[in-house]
Amino acid sequence: MQSILDKRSIVLLRELLDLTINKPVGTNAPGFRLGHPDDLDTIFALESKKLIEHDHKTQTYKLCMPGLLLANNEPAINLLFDTDRICDFLRAFYRKKPDSPVPLNTIAKELNIDRQRVIQCITTLNGTAPLINTSSDLTMNNATVTPTEALVFARESGHLARQAVEWHFPEAANTKPKTPGNITASAQKREAVLGAALAILATFPEQCRTKTGTVQGTKITKLIEEKSPFLFKYSRGEPPLSPDAITREINKWLKTFD
């Protein structure tokens, strides 16, 4: 399916993301608009579609979770991925100690994620669905968060983001990609998997290689599974083939010149 945003909108989302990475408070909204005088209509449209969050009290901009999904570049995917890691950690904590607060510093230490990034992930997630209760000021050294029962049963952040996108863009849920009549369903699945493999290899090249530098199909498959909500965001966020089938398909092409 083609993007539901025009190219300029995507560029603006990515620029805003670059300005706000690991900065939970966001970036100055008037300053961003002054830097883009020809894009004001587009910026206001992104606000109205809840892709950009405008905090009128602090006069700051930051991306909402659906905006991250549609930005669809490495920083956006990694931020959503870290959000899922934090959610998994808090789900496990909730099952052991329901309704107990978790120090923000503990999350950062246990997951080896920068503290400012933890705050950004949590505030971005809560902007879409209030799944985590937070202390009043997350910048305080003793700040805590408390996972809720709703978080335990919520789907991954990529799924939540996609649902929000479909709410604001009904065409995203109803439009199906056009394919020639002679392309079979199995061919479409292989095409989707190979496209995902190419995206993974281009974005995370080092993670796809062994210590000797050889590209390995199983490593690509693992990343495809981890990033599936973003790679297959308009097909329920799930790979169309099993992990073993994905690895076989990738390895078949990797051995082309052997």
Predicted local distance difference test score (pLDDT) of residue 158: 60
Q: Of the spans 125-139, 144-158, 211-225, which averages the highest pLDDT? A: 211-225
Residue 63: CB partners within 8 Å, gap ≥ 6? 13, 16, 17, 20, 51, 52, 53, 71, 76, 124
Domain boundaries, the chain: 1-175, 179-254
Band (pLDDT 50/70/90 cuts) for residue 18 is very high
Interior/surface letters 76-103, b for 16+ CB within 10 angstroms, e for the rest:
bbbbbbbbbbbbebbeebbeeeeeebbe
Q: Could you read off the pLDDT of 205-230 as tens digits, one per residue?
A: 889 998 888 899 999 999 988 888 77
Whole-number Å distance between alpha carbons of 53 and 56? 9
Q: What is the average per-residue pLDDT within 30-52?
A: 93
Band (pLDDT 50/70/90 cuts) for residue 175 is very low
Based on its alpha-carbon atoms, the radius of gyration of the chain, rounded to whole angstroms, reads 20
Q: What is the largest CA-CA distance in the chain?
A: 61
Predicted local distance difference test score (pLDDT) of residue 11: 94
Predicted local distance difference test score (pLDDT) of residue 162: 66
Predicted local distance difference test score (pLDDT) of residue 183: 43
More confident of the two residues 156 and 130: 130
Q: Could you read off the pLDDT of 73-123 as tens digits, one per residue?
A: 888 888 888 888 888 888 888 888 888 899 999 999 998 999 999 998 888
Predicted local distance difference test score (pLDDT) of residue 136: 72
Question: 73 to each of 14, 32, 37, 52, 61, how far by Cα in Å?
Answer: 8, 20, 24, 16, 19
Strand partners, 53: 62
Burial class (CB in 10 A: 0-12, 13-18, 19+), 38: exposed
Predicted local distance difference test score (pLDDT) of residue 163: 65
176 has pLDDT over 60: no
Structure tokens at 50: 């809840």
